[in-house]
């Protein structure tokens, strides 16, 4: 074996930052040492792993093929080092979650994870598209998303069911209606989540055939902002039942029945197919009760 783990770390850092200077800073190396390690790796095997595009170094076809394998190898090496130092303690994991999951479901899981083994969890909250991109770039270990996403390098695992609910303020003219018609939906003024979010994706699927006629006043990235706008009679909206439970109990918002439209959806766990399944990651999956269902290989 002629390559070193340090050479692989340099390769992965350059692939991530597309810049040798930033990769060197990340690895606490000099720029010359970083460049030298990458050059040595390519020279040893007579390969080129990057194409220069302006000031950026982009992985070429060979680099893209080797990157997931190098990521898995470095992850295994890091866990081995952790096992040697900490006697098989579960290590910290990086979780990405979409807004509804991150705000309403992830915190209890994080609490259980930390109480059961003392390890930490880094949580990133973003929309479905952003979480998928972070998984593909190996920035996070697992994504918990509320929208469907398809990519050949990602494993999409069904987690649990959810339902969106249309709602308005108790003072809105539609609040007294027992059932909303499609005409009511197209005449109303809407405040919605932004395109790219799982909630928006589910809403548009449920509203198929009506989308061009909907009057959209605002598109916001945060559920709390949407709820505040609706409470102030700026329009009606549609969000996960999970995020509306407290507001319905207080009476600050009221549900709008739309029986002719299907607002059911799934929450998903998403992993990179080549991501090493560390002890911490497997424990997170156990807490989510999806490890057995996913038939995941502990060693990737």
pLDDT along the chain (300 residues), means of 10: 88 92 92 91 91 88 92 86 62 89 91 83 91 92 89 92 96 94 96 91 94 95 94 96 95 96 94 86 88 45
- pTM comes to 0.69
Which pLDDT score is estimated for 3?
87
Give the model's pLDDT for residue 54: 81
pLDDT of residue 86: 60
Q: What is the pLDDT of residue 291?
A: 58
The whole-number pLDDT of residue 295 equals: 46
3-state class (DSSP) for residue 254? strand
Residue 260 DSSP code: T
45 φ/ψ angles, rounded to the nearest 5 degrees: -115, 10
Position 151 scores a pLDDT of 92
CATH class of domain segment(s) 5-86: mainly alpha
Which CATH code, of 3.90.1410.10, 3.50.50.60, 3.40.190.10, 3.30.70.60, is assigned to 162-264?
A: 3.40.190.10
Cα separation, 162 vs 100, whole angstroms: 11
The β-bridge partners of 5 are none
Query: Is the distance from CB of 295 to CB of 160 less than 8 angstroms?
Result: no
Which pLDDT score, from 0 to 100, does residue 117 have? Answer: 74
Is the fold of 93-160+266-294 the same as that of 162-264?
Answer: yes
CATH assignment, 93-160+266-294 = 3.40.190.10
Please state the domain extents for the chain.
Answer: 5-86, 93-160+266-294, 162-264
Rounded to whole angstroms, what are the CA distances from 35 to 38, 41, 195, 230?
5, 10, 40, 55
Task: Give the per-residue pLDDT at 292.
Answer: 46
């Amino acid at each position: 074996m002629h390559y070193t783990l340090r050479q692989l770390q340099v390769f992965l850092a350059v692939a991530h930052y597309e810049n040798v200077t930033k990769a060197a800073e990340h690895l606490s190396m000099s720029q010359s040492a970083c460049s030298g390690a990458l050059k040595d790796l390519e020279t040893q095997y007579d390969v080129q792993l990057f194409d220069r595009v302006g000031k950026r170094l982009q992985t070429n076809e060979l680099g893209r093929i080797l990157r997931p394998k190098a990521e898995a190898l470095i992850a295994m090496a890091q866990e081995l080092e952790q096992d040697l130092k900490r006697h098989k303690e579960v290590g910290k994991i990086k979780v990405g979650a979409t807004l509804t999951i991150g705000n309403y479901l992830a915190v209890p899981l994080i609490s259980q994870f930390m109480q059961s083994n003392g390890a930490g969890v880094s949580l990133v909250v973003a929309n479905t598209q952003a979480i998928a991109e972070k998984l593909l770039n190996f920035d996070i270990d697992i994504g918990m998303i509320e929208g469907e996403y398809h990519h050949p390098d990602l494993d999409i695992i069904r987690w649990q069911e959810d339902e969106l609910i249309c709602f308005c303020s108790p003072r809105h003219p539609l609040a007294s209606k027992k059932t909303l018609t499609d005409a009511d939906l197209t005449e109303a003024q809407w405040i919605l989540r932004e395109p790219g979010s799982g909630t928006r994706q589910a809403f548009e699927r449920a509203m198929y055939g009506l989308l061009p006629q909907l009057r959209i006043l605002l598109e916001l990235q945060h559920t709390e902002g949407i709820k505040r706008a609706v409470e102030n009679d700026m329009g009606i909206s549609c969000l996960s039942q999970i995020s509306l439970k407290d507001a319905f109990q207080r009476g600050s918002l009221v549900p709008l029945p739309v029986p002719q439209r299907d607002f059911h959806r799934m929450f998903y766990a998403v992993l990179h197919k080549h991501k090493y399944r560390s002890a911490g990651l497997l424990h997170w999956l156990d807490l989510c009760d999806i490890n057995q269902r996913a038939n995941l290989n502990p060693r990737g």
